[in-house]
Amino acid sequence: MADEGLRPIIIKRIKKSGGGHHGGAWKIAYADFVTAMMAFFLLMWLLGSTTKGDLQGIADFFSTPLKVAMAGGSGSGDSSSVIKGGGKDMTRIDGQQKKGEDLTPAKNFNLKAAEAELERQEINRLKALKERIEKAIDTIPGLQQFKNQLLIDITTEGLRIQIVDEKNRPMFALARAELQPYTKVILHEIAKILNDIPNRISLSGHTDATPYSSGEKSYSNWELSSDRANASRRELVAGGMAENKVLRVVGLSSAVLFDSSDPLNPINRRISIIVLNKKAEDSITQENKKIEVSDKESAQEAVESAVNAQQQVKPAPVAPAAPVAPIAR
């Protein structure tokens, strides 16, 4: 019994922890997460139910610098602000001197002045071409004798070279489109010069007012002038001119007389070669451009205006010409 009283008394203490699923820390974290999600969805609901104007106002409020909000002005460096500083150079202390100030010089382009300059350059180029052709006529032995039959001038369409008939020296065979040998020489020399310039050309054939005995019912001066213009085109190409330089070939019969006071004058029988300027060339290439109208009413108005314009132009009466036997044309 005495030994039992001397035995030590052992006290075992068990320390209980709050870990595992029995703790409460996760509840606090979960509560914070739920609160944040509620705030997020509340914000999304408010944004969805707000008008665009209000949203823009809110965005402007948060994007406006404090300086502009307090002092006013269109920007933090605006010259109207009472607070100095800013501008294009942020090192300035005197504020913005000029709104939108740009140190680089502005480049102003005057379209009319540019077009006038191009037109002036083109006229100078055509004048130089005229002088070159006149010099060639004076220096080339084969052309000197035809100097009186080569008429060169500058018109609104460009440089015009006219090869006219003389009473005793026609360019073509009688009432035919067959070129005389000396006419071929003239065209060959002109072709060499025309091929050195970028401008395109227009060819037109002309006759006098002497009609065929059959009148206008069969082969007439219209066909003859067209055939002569086309024969001149072929001879220019044979003389070395590029084929794509020819833009237009027309026969005008006696509609455009050189000597209107004497329709039967041999000088009316001629070939006209026009070195076209840019404006004349564009007017030819764009003459078939379509005119677009928005609706049927606009189309009807366009047709009516065109008909009215034609009715207002009354052709002058032309006296019938007496039939005459064909002579030199």
Q: Report residue 216 as tokens.
A: 């206008």
Q: What is the pTM of this model?
A: 0.54
Q: Residue 250 has what pLDDT? A: 93
Distance CA 199, CA 157 (A): 11
Q: Residue 241 has what pLDDT? A: 92
What are residue 201's DSSP bridge partners?
246, 275
Q: Residue 174 has what pLDDT? A: 81
Q: Residue 316 has what pLDDT? A: 44
Q: Report residue 113 as tokens.
A: 């002045």
Q: Residue 200 has what pLDDT? A: 92
CA angle, 57 then 41 then 32, to 5°: 120
Residue with tokens 């006529």: 137
Nearest CA among 231, 138, 219, 132 for reference residue 178: 231
Distance CA 258, CA 251 (A): 15
Nearest CA among 223, 205, 126, 203 for reference residue 164: 205
Q: Residue 317 has what pLDDT? A: 45
3-state DSSP: the chain helix, strand, coil percent, rounded to 5? 45, 10, 45
Q: Residue 327 has what pLDDT? A: 46
Nearest CA among 182, 157, 162 for reference residue 172: 182
Burial (CB count within 10 angstroms: exposed 0-12, middle 13-18, buried 19+), residue 306: exposed
* pLDDT string in tens for the chain (329-residue length): 555 567 777 777 766 655 555 567 888 999 999 999 999 999 888 888 888 888 887 777 777 666 556 655 555 555 554 555 445 555 555 555 544 455 555 556 677 888 888 888 888 888 888 888 888 888 887 777 888 888 999 888 999 999 888 777 888 888 888 998 888 988 998 898 888 888 899 999 999 888 887 777 788 899 999 999 999 999 999 999 999 999 999 999 989 998 889 988 888 899 999 999 888 888 888 876 665 555 555 556 665 665 565 555 444 444 444 444 444 55
Residue with tokens 């067959």: 178
Nearest CA among 280, 272, 241, 247 for reference residue 122: 280
Q: Give domain 114-287's CATH number out of 3.40.50.850, 3.40.50.1000, 3.30.1330.60, 1.10.1060.10.
A: 3.30.1330.60
Residue with tokens 């606009």: 298
Q: How many CB atoms lie within 10 A of CB 212?
A: 19
Residues in the chain: 329
Three-class SS state of 173: coil
CB 183 within 8 A of CB 145: no
